[in-house]
Structure 1
Amino acid sequence: MAQLDTLDIIVLVALLVGTIAYFTKGTYWAVANDPYGNSLAHANGVKTGKSRNLLEKMEETGKNCVILYGSQTGTAEDYASRLAKEGASRFGLKTMVADLEDYDYENLDTFPEDKVAFFVLATYGEGEPTDNAVEFYEFITGEDVSFSEGSEDAPLSKLKFVAFGLGNNTYEHYNSMVRNVTKALEKLGAHRIGEAGEGDDGAGTMEEDFLAWKEPMWTELAETMGLEEREAVYEPTFDVVEKLDMNIEDNTVYLGEPNKNHLEGHSKGPYNAHNPYIAPIAESKEIFTTKDRNCLHMEIDVAGSGMSYNTGDHIAVWPTNAGKEVERFLHIVGLGDKKNTVITVKGLDPTAKVPFPSPTTYDAVARYHMEICAPMSRQFVGTLAQFAPNDEIKEELTKMGGDRDYFHAKVSELNLNLGQFLEKMSNGEPWTKIPFSLFIEGLNKIQPRYYSISSSSHVQKEKISITAIVESIEKPGAPHIVKGVTTNYLLALKLKQHGEPEPDPYGLNYALNGPRNKYDGIHLPVHVRHSNFKLPSDPAKPIIMVGPGTGVAPFRAFVQERAAYAKEGKEIGKTVLFFGCRKKSEDFLYEKEWEEYKEALGDKFEMYTAFSRDGPEKVYVQHKIKEQAAEIDKLLQQKAFFYVCGDAANMARDVNALLIKIISEQRGVSEQKAEDVVKQMRASNQYQEDVWS
């Protein structure tokens, strides 16, 4: 009988847990497992026991403008915050920024006519919504969408909205999120204010596209809502208080730890974009043979973490800013001597979202949380003008903020990050008037960097391979060489692992041991992001891969997996790889490994190489693809899968155009017909891309 009672209790508890999870839609658990712990439990406006009713939240907090964002890497969230700040300071709007996944939208039909909603929407992958926008997108574009009052005729007629999209024109479904959502909202009767803006990361014009879009939008919004523009005066969103009674020895002070579990020293999964796993680096090596460039191969050990990956997935590396740039930034803003001062950061508005845990220090914020090494934005430079050390500098910054070409010549072309820019403008005199809250609001939160995994999960489940070229960009006339934040961090870890006396050849001085030396040894914060870039489920299907440079990374994983299947006696389809690099003797990635895979796969594996600087004329993968046109079309007619990985703006676009031409010529059909074939391949996942700008 006692056993039956115990079982009853277990069943009842399980039912209770399920009921809570269902009716709160996960809100309770999301807050109970808040990545920052209790310090930020109220930051995003969704609290334990509170509803997911957006209009109720706006009413409670006295807001008449909500900026909803769909963001994958944080950029859309940043633009949303900037719009909220500008709307409040210039037009007196009562603004709040909201994550799309935090609310339900069945009552949008009761949205008050004296309020406005902004939608800032990034398009992810092949025209997909970002992870946090999936539910909203499926709801608003659904065929049977229904709202609280049940009106069938123009249910959203009261809703006024503004829309801006973040896209990449190298993808076929350019800015499809903002286009599709705008279309869906208007179909439901909503009234769009201004044009739906479209920013293009592929052309490198995202910032200028945003600035060009927002001015006419504000004009139309002010007219529609009867707003009066006023002189924009900076009003902080966050209260930054120095806690002189605390110090960095206090174990409640965050020194770079991403959340409470990490702070308390018992990090646990699940590991994701809010909670990294501190993974040991099992192995690291240089795979270029030239001394003036670096390409790293690393094996990340995830055994015992509970993390898993599938071949074709991405690994996210959580970077830390170089100590050299942290010191430069803190010194030029007058905080060099106060870098270890403990501060608390709180939102002055109940909807303000603090982007890192608190209490913390100036050093920890600059090192682990803010993109201080990113390129400067023109809008931010204009904002800094009011805090300039003198009137001459103020006038110069005002001119930069208002003149695109002048800003480009004086800032963008010189590769200046924030610290370098401030140093140059004031000849090293500290800028002591800038409130630290302005940096928290105006600089992006530092984001994980994603790399294509270069190993097969079938071959090595507990070790994830990464292949990364160490970035170093030098422009003629620019005073500084741009060193990639994450890749140089990886290089420093590699050098330390191999016992180099100078683990940092550029003097960048990364904090390799992490906050409180918690990464002691050779460790790296990571998580896995699942991808749709996948091998066909049947290994007998033929595949064609195009991957110059480190674009070959996922194809090393693909071929590694097929070679393992061949050794197990499985039937393998034709496996064709096009690879390109500069010189065979310097940067032929994994040269010996391809020979091993050829031995395992035999005539099922063909590799075509293009070495652009080995001959009198430059040869690229596109040339090799053209040479194999007949074979490629033959395989495509056998339903071969076609994969491209690498640079989106040039290579991937060229390959797409070349494939259309090949199909047209080989099949004797028009280029329009061939283009339709390629589009159908994309729609059926027969054509897949893993590309970057």
Structure 2
Amino acid sequence: MALLDSLDFIVLVLVGVATLAFFTKGKLWAKEPETDPYAGGLGSQGFGSTTSFGSFGGNSNKTRDITKKLEQTGKNVIIFYGSQTGTAEDYANRLSKEATQRYGLKSMTADLEDYDYENLNSLGDDIVVGFVMATYGEGEPTDNAVNFYEFINDDSSEWAESDEPSADPDSPLSSLNYVIFGLGNNTYEHYNEIGRNLDKRLKKLGAKRIGDYGEGDDGQGTMEEDYLAWKDDLFSAWKEAKGLDEHEAKYEPSVKISETGETASSEDSSSVAEPDAEAMSVYLGEPNKKILRGEIKGPYNAGNPFLANVSETRELFHDPKRSCIHVEFDVGTNVKYTTGDHLALHIQNSDEEVERFLKVIGLWDKRHNVIKAKPIDPTYKPSFPVPTTYDTVVRYYLEINGAVSRQLLAFIAPFAPTETAKKEALRLGSDKNAFADEVAKHYTNIAHVLSKLSGGEPWTNVPFSFLVESLPHLIPRYYSISSSSLVDKSKISITAVVESLEAPEYAIKGVATNLLLDMKIKKDGVDPSKSKDPQAVHYELSGPRGKFGGHKLPVHIRRSNFKLPSDPKKPIIMIGPGTGLAPFRAFVMERAKQAESGTDVGQQLLFFGCRNPNEDFIYKEQWAGIEKELGDKFTMVTAFSRVDPVQKVYVQHRMQEYAKQINDLMQQGAYFYVCGDASRMAREVQATLAKILSDQRGIPLSSAEQLVKSLKVQNVYQEDVW
């Protein structure tokens, strides 16, 4: 019996050890080596992520403890960012860099989701914490800031205090010094709400702000100048509060980039051997290590996009200056979406712009040279894996077509090839009026600006590390899905207008839309070099090492709250001029499918606006069929702005004509949707609805405006605007 007990005990111990081993595999043992360039995935922003890669030392001393991180790195300033599109991250990096180079502070930037915040109150008075916070959607924190925002606003925690700001030294954050800048768009109802609320909350918890609260307005197009004005005032206040010594800013790299002596190009197929072949270590633009190794498998997300086959491209309209393309992606059962979601398209820069940029900085002849990187600042988190090539970094990871910042010209001036170019760069970098007239209003990209300043002479003195650290990251572009998941779960369609902005010497090309246009041209069997389309530029559609096959693009789904009512009997009112029609095509297709299966669906009223019914009325033939299918359950109201040469007619004008029907549907519990331009259309639609409700219900306009705002809070009034 004793022997049996002993055996039982031994068996139990072995089972316990085996169980422990099973659940700790990959955590305590059999772990991936930390030098894996994609050990952490690509983060929430895909190509544009700042996830640290092993070759840069980003995984060393990994900790979620803020105080420990600052101790490990010897930093006394940490700038957190809450960023959705990369702009807030860019400003955080610039603020951190200037704090170090101009004022001798030991500064770092950090993604808010990379740390825990229970010990935020333990930071000493010698530490300064910065927050660069974007407001997303209708007053929401960005994806990477959600956990922090919920934590700091949790009134049930030990952080809870009175409703008034506190100067009590015993307050939770009495030792915290902070600076803060908010990013928002005044066309939205809850303009800069996250930045403003965080500032109030920090003060309520006893934290001490250095300088003024600052905020930038993307709606007015003043974001850059708002940031620069706030930043200058901030450092003046910071100098006074902390006794900083200012000196002339000198570029100090955070990472050393060097060549290995090897060459590689995307056409080189020698690397496509066994998955563990040594040659597979050079990244040529593969979205992640799985794709590099040929291991295409889910789950698919921002860090692991699905290579979707572009099954159909067709032109919806075309004129000399713009065109509209319908694109369908075959995703099978690999990618799941629901009607109203967004498709994230992982993009690349065009051949023309890559060549222009590399020639301007003197690296065209070395574009396929393999480069590696060695961290100088261990907190620096680059956006690309290594080893790689100059061409790969410029093509897949840097936003070389975006707007140029005035600050960048001032910082790049010391590397100018001539004294004249240096003086011009400094002049534009210091004079906001000259910069606005000569650069900003022409939508000039960095390569064009540098070439013009130097008269075409290459800027060979600019360190590549400077460009990597200074230029924003190339991030996915998001499109409202124009197909219904109920109709076909295996296909996703989007609708995109390809348009150029005319500048005096050239036309600025949209990166993603022209990628789709190039895909269409090649799918149509047209030799790209012989295409007569004035919009056309060319892309490496075959992808790195030919892995995209010329007809696949990396995509992932971003979930959206822009959804049909759960009750199909609820009426819906939709306002969608131009490509704002895209999600409503999906909504109406879904309702038509429900009706076909015998479901009782509510009334649908759709307002669509374009220039001319014979020029840019997208999906025109399809709407006629839908009207026939749904009968009196569906009404489409059109507004054409270029038919009458005297009077332009917009969707808000047609809304007034249907005022009684709109009010009746709203009283029946209709959901109200707006998709399209945020800067003007969405605002005027909201104002028009308030006026309709005021007139139809006989209530003051101010009461009607409050009613519309309450509908937004209840998610009955929804917007998908840009």
Q: CA RMSD for the aligned pairs?
A: 2.7
Equivalent in 389, 409, 416 of residue 361 of structure 1: 389
Q: Is the counterpart of residue 132 in structure 1 residue 149 in structure 2?
A: no
Question: Aligned ranges for residues 76-115 of structure 1 at < 5 Å?
Answer: 76-115=88-127
- Superposed, 1:18-167 pairs within 5 Å as 32-35=39-42, 40-41=53-54, 50-146=62-158, 153-167=170-184
Residue 517 of structure 2: aligned partner: 491
CA–CA distance in 2 between the matches of 1:157 and 1:111?
Answer: 10
Secondary structure in structure 2 of the residue aligned to 1:288: strand
Q: Matched residues in 2 for 1:71 and 1:288: separation?
A: 35
- 1:289–1:585 Cα contact (<8 Å) kept: no
Structure 2 CA distance for partners of 1:240 and 1:465, relative to 1, 3 Å: same
Secondary structure of the corresponding residue to residue 631 of structure 2: helix
Deviation, structure 1 residue 266: 1.3
Q: Does 1:265 align with 2:294?
A: yes
Partner AA of 1:316 in structure 2: A
Correspondence 1:343 to 2:360: no
Equivalent in the alignment of 2:4: none
Q: Any conservation in 2 of the 1:46–1:102 contact (CA below 8 Å)?
A: no
Deviation digits for residues 368-413 of structure 1 (CA, Å, limit 9, x no counterpart): 1101111211000111111111222211111111110001111122
Are residues 31 and 500 of structure 1, via their aligned partners in 2, closer, same or farther at CA, if it must alter by over 3 Å? Answer: closer
Query: Partner residue of 2:213?
Result: 196
Q: Aligned residue for 1:672?
A: 702
Instruction: Give the Cα–Cα distance (whole angstroms) in 1 for the partners of residues 36 and 365 of structure 2.
Output: 41
The answer (yes or no) to whether the contact 1:35–1:260 under 8 Å persists in 2 is no
Q: Matched residue of 2:403: which SS?
A: coil
* 1:577 correspondence with 2:606: yes
Indicate whether 1:543 and 2:550 are aligned.
no
The CA deviation at 1:521 is 3.5
Tell me the CA shift for residue 20 of structure 1.
8.2
Distance 1:103 1:230 in 2: 32
Residue of structure 2 equivalent to 1:643:
673
- CA displacement, residues 556-614 of structure 1 (integer Å, 9 cap, x when unaligned): 00000000000011111110000011111111111111122112211010110011112
Deviation at 1:247, TM superposition (A): 4.0
Query: Could you say which residue in structure 1 is the equivalent of 2:414?
Result: 386
Q: Residues 287-326 of structure 1: matches in 2 within 5 Å?
A: 287-288=316-317, 290=319, 292-305=321-334, 307-326=335-354
Contact residue 416 and residue 480 of structure 1 kept, 8 A: no
Q: Does 1:691 align with 2:717?
A: no
Q: Report the AA paired with residue 620 of structure 1.
A: Y
Cα distance change on mapping 1:19 and 1:247 into 2, 3 Å = closer
Match of 2:459 in 1: 431
Q: Which amino acid aligns with 1:134?
A: V
- The equivalent residue for 1:566 is 595
Residue in 2 aligned with 1:442?
Answer: 470
Counterpart contact for 2:372–2:386, Cα < 8 Å: yes
Inter-partner Cα distance in structure 1 for 2:575 and 2:653:
12
The residue aligned with 2:502 is 474
The correspondence for 2:440, drawn from 383, 408, 412, is 412
1:207–1:377 CA contact under 8 A, matched in 2: yes
Quick one: which amino acid aligns to residue 269 of structure 1? G
**Paired letter, 2:476:** P
Amino acid at match of 1:591: K
Verify: 1:459 aligned to 2:466, yes or no.
no
| Structure 2 CA distance for aligned equivalents of residues 644 and 214 of structure 1 | 36
Give 2:163's aligned residue: none
Structure 2's unaligned 5+ residue stretches are 1-7, 44-49, 161-167, 269-278
Amino acid at match of 1:270: P
| Distance in 1 between residues matched to 2:395 and 2:488, nearest whole Å | 33
Q: Does the 8 Å CA contact 1:372/1:419 hold for their aligned counterparts?
A: yes
Aligned to 1:244: 261
Of 280, 283, 292 in structure 1, the residue corresponding to residue 309 of structure 2 is 280
Cα deviation code 1:299-345 (max 9, x no counterpart): 1111142x211111000111111111111111111111111111112
The residue that corresponds to 2:650 in the other structure is 620
Amino acid at match of 1:100: L
Indicate if the aligned counterparts of 2:338 and 2:484 stay in contact, CA closer than 8 A: yes
| Residue type of the alignment partner of 1:489 | L
2:252 aligned partner: 235
Instruction: State the identity %.
Output: 52
CA shift digits 1:617-637 (9 cap, x unpaired)? 211111100101111111111
Alpha-carbon offset, residue 682 of structure 1: 0.3
Aligned to 2:271: none
Deviates more, 1:270-279 or 1:31-40: 31-40
Change (3 A) 1:517 1:678: same
Q: Which moves more between the two structures, 7-16 or 85-94? A: 7-16
Q: In the superposition, relative to structure 1, how do residues 290 and 400 fare at CA in structure 2: closer, same or farther (>3 Å)? A: closer
- When the two structures are aligned, how many residues end up with a matched partner? 682
In the superposition, the TM-score normalised over structure 1's length comes to 0.94
Which of 538, 548, 551 in structure 2 is aligned with 1:509? 538
| Distance in 1, Cα, partners of 2:676 & 2:513 | 17
Does the 8 Å CA contact 1:345/1:354 hold for their aligned counterparts? no
Contact 1:347–1:354 under 8 Å retained in 2: no
Contact 2:40 2:52 in 1 (8 A): no
Q: CA deviation at 1:418?
A: 1.0
- How big is the shift at 1:473? 1.4
Question: Matched residues in 1 for 2:430 and 2:377: separation?
Answer: 30
- CA displacement 1:535-561 (0-9 Å, x = unmatched): 100010000000000000000000000
1:272-319 superposed Cα distances (whole Å, 9 cap, x missing partner): 2222211101111001154553100011111142x2111110001111
Question: SS where residue 643 of structure 1 aligns?
Answer: strand
| 1:14 Cα deviation after fit | 6.5
TM-score, length basis structure 2: 0.90
Say which is worse superposed, 31-40 or 640-649, in terms of deviation. 31-40
Give 1:32 shift. 4.4
1:486–1:566 Cα change, 3 Å: same
Mapped to 1, the partners of 2:26 and 2:201 lie a distance apart of 33
Which residue of the partner structure matches residue 24 of structure 1?
none
